[in-house]
Chain A
Amino acid sequence: MIAYLGRRIVQSVLILLGISIITFALLYLLPADPVRQIAGRSATPATVESIRRQLGLDQPFLVQYGRYLWNLLQGDLGRSYIQRSEVSQLILARLPATLLLMVGAIVCELLIGLTMGLAAAVRRGSRTDNSLMVASFVGVSAPQFVVGLLLLYIFAVRLGWFPIGGYGTFRHLVLPSLTVGIMGAGWYARMMRSSMVDVLHQDYIRTARAKGLGRLKVLVRHALPNAILPIVAMVGIDIGILMGGIVVVESVFGWPGIGQLVWQAIQRVDIPIIMGVTLVSALAIVLGNLFADLVAPFIDPRIKLR
Chain B
Amino acid sequence: MKKYLVSTVAAAALMLGATAVQAQDVDPNAKPGGEIVITYKDDVATLDPAIGYDWQNWSMIKSLFDGLMDYKPGTTELVPDLAESYEISPDGQTFTFKLRPGVKFHNGREMTAEDVKYSIDRVVNPVTQSPGQGFFASIKGYDEAAAGKSDGLSGITVVDPLTIKFELTRPDATFLHVMAINFSHVVPKEEVEKYGADFGKHPVGTGAYKLAEWTLGQRVVFEKNPDHWHKGLPYLDKITFEIGQEPIVALLRLQKGEIDVPGDGIPPAKFQEVMNDPEQKARVVEGGQLHTGYVTMNVNIPPFDNVKVRQAVNMAINKERIVQLINNRAVPANQPLPPSMPGYVKDYKGYPFDPAKAKELLAEAGQPDGFSTDLYVMNTDPNPRIAQGIQQDLAAIGIKANIQALAQANVIAAGGEKEGAPMIWSGGMAWIADFPDPSNFYGPILGCGGAVPGGWNWSWYCNEDLDKKAAEADSIVDPAKAEERNKMWGDIYMKIMEDAPWAPIFNEQRFTMKSARMGGADNLYVDPVHIPINYDNVYVKDVQ
On whether the two chains bind one another, the answer is yes
Interface residue ranges, A against B (CB under 8 Å): 30-33, 36-48, 50-51, 53-55, 79, 82-85, 89-90, 93-94, 97, 149, 152-153, 156-157, 164-167, 250-257, 260-261, 264, 267-269
Could you tell me if B131 and A93 are in contact, using CB atoms closer than 8 angstroms?
no
Main secondary structure, interface of A, reads: helix
Would you give the 0/1 interface string for B223-251, flagging 1 where the beta carbon is closer than 8 Å to chain A? 00000000000000000001111101100
In whole Å, how far is B466's beta carbon from the nearest beta carbon of chain A?
A: 19
Q: Which of B82-90, B409-417, B472-480, B492-500 contacts A (4 or more CB under 8 A)?
A: B409-417
Question: A82 to B45, alpha carbons, bound, how many Å?
Answer: 6
Contacts of A149 in B (CB 8 A): 248
B452 at the interface (CB under 8 A from A): yes
Could you tell me if A50 and B126 are in contact, using CB atoms closer than 8 angstroms?
yes
**Contact flag A152-B133 (CB < 8 Å), given A36-B454, A83-B46:** no
Interface centre among B134, B197, B245, B416, by most A CB within 10 Å?
Answer: B134
4 A-B pairs with least C-beta separation: A32-B409, A256-B217, A40-B131, A254-B244
In whole Å, how far is B137's beta carbon from the nearest beta carbon of chain A?
A: 7
Sample of 14 more A-B contacts, CB < 8 Å, known A82-B46, A255-B244, A264-B43: A32-B409, A36-B409, A36-B412, A44-B137, A50-B146, A54-B127, A55-B129, A79-B197, A84-B46, A89-B216, A149-B248, A156-B252, A254-B249, A257-B217
Question: A264 to B41, alpha carbons, bound, how many Å?
Answer: 9
Question: A136 to B91, alpha carbons, bound, how many Å?
Answer: 78
Q: Which of A31, A40, A93, A157 contacts B252 (CB 8 A)?
A: A157
Contacts of A55 in B (CB 8 A): 129
Could you tell me if A256 and B244 are in contact, using CB atoms closer than 8 angstroms?
yes
Question: A185 to B51, alpha carbons, bound, how many Å?
Answer: 45
Q: Which of B245, B256, B410, B455 contacts A32 (CB 8 A)?
A: B410
Could you tell me if B245 and A254 are in contact, using CB atoms closer than 8 angstroms?
yes
B160 at the interface (CB under 8 A from A): no
B541 at the interface (CB under 8 A from A): no
Question: A267 to B43, alpha carbons, bound, how many Å?
Answer: 12
Could you tell me if A260 and B217 are in contact, using CB atoms closer than 8 angstroms?
yes
In whole Å, how far is B436's beta carbon from the nearest beta carbon of chain A?
A: 15
In whole Å, how far is A52's beta carbon from the nearest beta carbon of chain B?
A: 10
Question: A85 to B407, alpha carbons, bound, how many Å?
Answer: 25
Could you tell me if B431 and A256 are in contact, using CB atoms closer than 8 angstroms?
no
Question: A54 to B130, alpha carbons, bound, how many Å?
Answer: 11
Could you tell me if B133 and A165 are in contact, using CB atoms closer than 8 angstroms?
no
Contacts of B408 in A (CB 8 A): 267
B506 at the interface (CB under 8 A from A): no
Question: A42 to B496, alpha carbons, bound, how many Å?
Answer: 20
Question: A31 to B414, alpha carbons, bound, how many Å?
Answer: 9
Could you tell me if A47 and B244 are in contact, using CB atoms closer than 8 angstroms?
no
Name the residue on A nearest B200 (C-beta). A84
Q: Which of B48, B243, B412, B416 contacts A256 (CB 8 A)?
A: B243
Could you tell me if B45 and A45 are in contact, using CB atoms closer than 8 angstroms?
no
Could you tell me if A42 and B135 are in contact, using CB atoms closer than 8 angstroms?
yes
**B 387-428 contacts with A by CB, 8 A:** 407-410, 412-414, 416
Could you tell me if A42 and B51 are in contact, using CB atoms closer than 8 angstroms?
no
Q: Which of B137, B253, B410, B456 contacts A164 (CB 8 A)?
A: B253
Q: Which of B45, B131, B146 contacts A83 (CB 8 A)?
A: B45
B32 at the interface (CB under 8 A from A): no
A-B residue pairs in contact (CB < 8 Å), sample of 22? A31-B413, A31-B414, A36-B412, A36-B454, A37-B409, A38-B129, A40-B131, A42-B134, A43-B131, A45-B454, A45-B455, A50-B129, A50-B148, A83-B45, A85-B198, A93-B217, A149-B248, A164-B253, A165-B249, A167-B218, A256-B243, A267-B42
Could you tell me if B409 and A33 are in contact, using CB atoms closer than 8 angstroms?
yes
Name the residue on B nearest A260 (C-beta). B244
**B 121-164 contacts with A by CB, 8 A:** 126-127, 129-135, 137, 146-148
**B 442-460 contacts with A by CB, 8 A:** 444, 449, 452-456
Could you tell me if A164 and B45 are in contact, using CB atoms closer than 8 angstroms?
no
B483 at the interface (CB under 8 A from A): no
Could you tell me if A51 and B129 are in contact, using CB atoms closer than 8 angstroms?
yes
Contacts of B455 in A (CB 8 A): 45
Could you tell me if A54 and B126 are in contact, using CB atoms closer than 8 angstroms?
yes
Could you tell me if A256 and B218 are in contact, using CB atoms closer than 8 angstroms?
yes
Contacts of A36 in B (CB 8 A): 409, 412-413, 416, 454
In whole Å, how far is B132's beta carbon from the nearest beta carbon of chain A?
A: 7
In whole Å, how far is B355's beta carbon from the nearest beta carbon of chain A?
A: 33
Contacts of B48 in A (CB 8 A): 84
Would you give the 0/1 interface string for B245-272, flagging 1 where the beta carbon is closer than 8 Å to chain A? 1101100110010100000000000000
Name the residue on B nearest A35 (C-beta). B454
In whole Å, how far is B306's beta carbon from the nearest beta carbon of chain A?
A: 28
Contacts of A256 in B (CB 8 A): 216-218, 243-244
Contacts of A90 in B (CB 8 A): 216
B53 at the interface (CB under 8 A from A): yes
Contacts of B258 in A (CB 8 A): 164
In whole Å, how far is A132's beta carbon from the nearest beta carbon of chain B?
A: 32
Could you tell me if B409 and A166 are in contact, using CB atoms closer than 8 angstroms?
no
Q: Which of A41, A53, A97, A165 contacts B444 (CB 8 A)?
A: A41
Name the residue on B nearest A156 (C-beta). B252
Could you tell me if A251 and B129 are in contact, using CB atoms closer than 8 angstroms?
no
B25 at the interface (CB under 8 A from A): no
B434 at the interface (CB under 8 A from A): yes
Contacts of A46 in B (CB 8 A): 134, 146
